[in-house]
């Protein structure tokens, strides 16, 4: 992924200098993404939350997320040694948030990566080759999309038993067709472009057209879609864990924390509100970042 990828060669190269973009302060600043608050704030929040989840337990000791003492049960937030308090069986909430967040990020990123590679591949093939290949791949994607994702994920998680890896497999059935459709549509839109015709006239081999002409051009669209996708997957992972089919029970996940907290909603609402807030802020940041990048890269 080289730099000009996201800055399409515009009229600058063709027009005389006086017609090219006037060097106003606003455009100059917009060139540099680090000055764009719409990008830096959600990105910063994401780095903060993900960094805390993955690094904090390594750097600074936190209580174990499981096996807490019943003597510590139900401590309110800001108790000594327990920043967010403890849950009904005495586990430290802060530690559970950190370890649960790891699960969310790991599942979200891996499912999206699997979706990008497999779904992207099939989408590009369908869009580029067209004809019967396209028809077959599109129908399969249609079935997978029409198939209620949660039912499939539930069934897989039920069948294979709850574990993080199984959740990733199950949710991939959701990610692959979604990315596949976007990749196919984006490829179709490219097919009529002049440079594709030029490549064909020049006798460029198909694999090279895909690698050098299609992939770079659909990348911005797939990347922004993936950012939004990570958010959706994190929500779905939470849903599975919420139903007790995600991460095996004593281990924390934001979804299962919300589910467990509901039993004491009236007496200890923070058990629900804290993981809810983390889930919300994480997904919100991903959405904001995806939106900002979409605007910047001019993706519709």
Partner 1 sequence: MTAEAGVRPGARTQFARRAVGSPGVRVAGRRLLAVIPVLWGVTFLTFIVMNMLPGDAAQELLGANATPAEVHQLEIQLHLNEPFWVRYGNWFGGLLKGDLGTSLSGGQPVTTILGQRLPVTAELLLYAFVASVVFAVGLAVLAARRPNGIGDRISMAVSMMGLSIAPYVLAPVLVYLFAIKVGWFPAIGYTPLTQNPVENIKSLTLPAASIGFPLFAVYTRLLRADIVEQMQREDYIVTARAKGVPPWRILIRHALRNSLFGLITLVGLNFGTLIGAVAIIEPIFSLPGVGAILIESINNRDLPVVEGIVVIFAVITVAANLLADLLYVALDPRIRYERAAV
Binds partner 1 (CB under 8 A): choice among 25, 151, 201, 202: 151
Q: Tokens 């596949």, residue? A: 180
Size of the site for partner 1 (CB under 8 A): 41
DSSP letter (8 states) at residue 82: B
Within 173-232, the residues that bind partner 1 by CB under 8 A are 231
Within 45-84, the residues that bind partner 1 by CB under 8 A are none
- By beta-carbon proximity to partner 1, the closer residue of 132 and 151 is 151
Distance, CA of 11 to chain centre: 34
The strand pairing partners of 92, in sequence order, are: 86
Region of residue 25 (phi > 0: left; psi between -120 and 50: alpha; otherwise: beta): alpha
Binds partner 1 (CB under 8 A): choice among 49, 114, 218, 258: 258
287 binds partner 1 (CB under 8 A): yes
Contacts of residue 88, defined as CB under 8 A and 6 or more positions apart, other chains included, come to 73, 74, 260, 263, 264, 268, 271
Q: Pick the closest to residue 295 from 55, 116, 19, 30 (CA basis).
A: 30
The rounded distance, in Å, linking the Cα atoms of 74 and 261 is 11
Binds partner 1 (CB under 8 A): choice among 2, 13, 34, 266: 266
The strand pairing partners of 86, in sequence order, are: 92
261 binds partner 1 (CB under 8 A): yes
Binds partner 1 (CB under 8 A): choice among 53, 63, 242, 260: 242
- By beta-carbon proximity to partner 1, the closer residue of 139 and 212 is 139
Q: What totals of helices (H) and strands (E) does the chain contain, helices first?
A: 12, 0
167 binds partner 1 (CB under 8 A): no
Contacts of residue 118, defined as CB under 8 A and 6 or more positions apart, other chains included, come to 172, 176, 180
- By beta-carbon proximity to partner 1, the closer residue of 193 and 262 is 262
239 binds partner 1 (CB under 8 A): yes
- By beta-carbon proximity to partner 1, the closer residue of 99 and 242 is 242
DSSP letter (8 states) at residue 17: G
The rounded distance, in Å, linking the Cα atoms of 167 and 152 is 11
Binds partner 1 (CB under 8 A): choice among 137, 178, 199, 272: 272
Q: Are 98 and 107 in contact (CB under 8 A)?
A: no
The rounded distance, in Å, linking the Cα atoms of 74 and 300 is 48
The rounded distance, in Å, linking the Cα atoms of 13 and 148 is 49
Q: Give the nearest distance from C-beta 230 to partner 1 in angstroms.
A: 12
Q: Give the nearest distance from C-beta 293 to partner 1 in angstroms.
A: 15
* Piece of 17-25, 73-81, 177-185, 265-273 that binds partner 1 (CB under 8 A): 265-273
Q: Give the nearest distance from C-beta 154 to partner 1 in angstroms.
A: 5
- By beta-carbon proximity to partner 1, the closer residue of 110 and 282 is 282
The rounded distance, in Å, linking the Cα atoms of 277 and 272 is 9
* Piece of 58-66, 80-88, 98-106, 136-144 that binds partner 1 (CB under 8 A): 136-144
Q: Footprint of partner 1 on this chain (CB under 8 A)?
A: 139-140, 142-143, 146-152, 154-156, 158-159, 231, 235, 238-239, 242-243, 255, 258-259, 261-262, 265-266, 269, 272-273, 276, 279-280, 283-284, 286-288, 291
């Amino acid at each position: 992924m080289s730099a000009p990828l996201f800055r399409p060669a515009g009229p600058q190269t063709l027009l005389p200098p006086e017609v090219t973009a006037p060097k106003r302060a606003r455009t100059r600043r917009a060139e540099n993404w680090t000055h764009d608050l719409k990008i830096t704030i959600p990105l910063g929040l994401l780095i903060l939350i993900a960094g805390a989840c993955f690094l904090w337990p390594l750097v600074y000791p936190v209580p174990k997320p499981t096996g807490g003492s019943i003597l510590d049960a139900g401590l309110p937030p800001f108790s000594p040694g327990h920043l967010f308090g403890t849950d009904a069986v005495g586990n430290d909430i802060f530690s559970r948030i950190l370890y649960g967040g790891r699960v969310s990020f790991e599942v979200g990123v891996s499912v999206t990566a699997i979706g990008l590679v497999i779904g992207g591949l099939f989408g590009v093939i369908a869009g580029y080759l067209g004809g019967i290949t396209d028809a077959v791949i599109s129908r399969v994607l249609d079935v997978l999309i029409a198939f209620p994702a949660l039912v499939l994920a539930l069934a897989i998680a039920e069948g294979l038993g709850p574990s993080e890896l199984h959740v990733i497999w199950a949710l991939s059935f959701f990610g692959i067709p979604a990315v596949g459709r976007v990749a196919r549509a984006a490829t179709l839109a490219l097919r009529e472009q002049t440079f594709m015709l030029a490549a064909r006239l020049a006798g460029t081999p198909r694999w090279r057209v895909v690698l050098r002409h299609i992939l770079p051009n659909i990348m911005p669209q797939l990347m922004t879609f993936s950012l939004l996708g990570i958010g959706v997957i994190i929500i779905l992972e939470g849903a599975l864990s919420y139903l007790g089919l995600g991460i095996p029970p004593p281990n924390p996940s934001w979804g299962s924390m919300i589910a467990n907290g509901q039993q004491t909603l009236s007496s200890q609402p923070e058990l629900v509100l804290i993981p809810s807030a983390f889930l919300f802020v994480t997904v919100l940041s991903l959405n904001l970042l995806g939106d900002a990048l979409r605007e910047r890269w001019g993706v519709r």
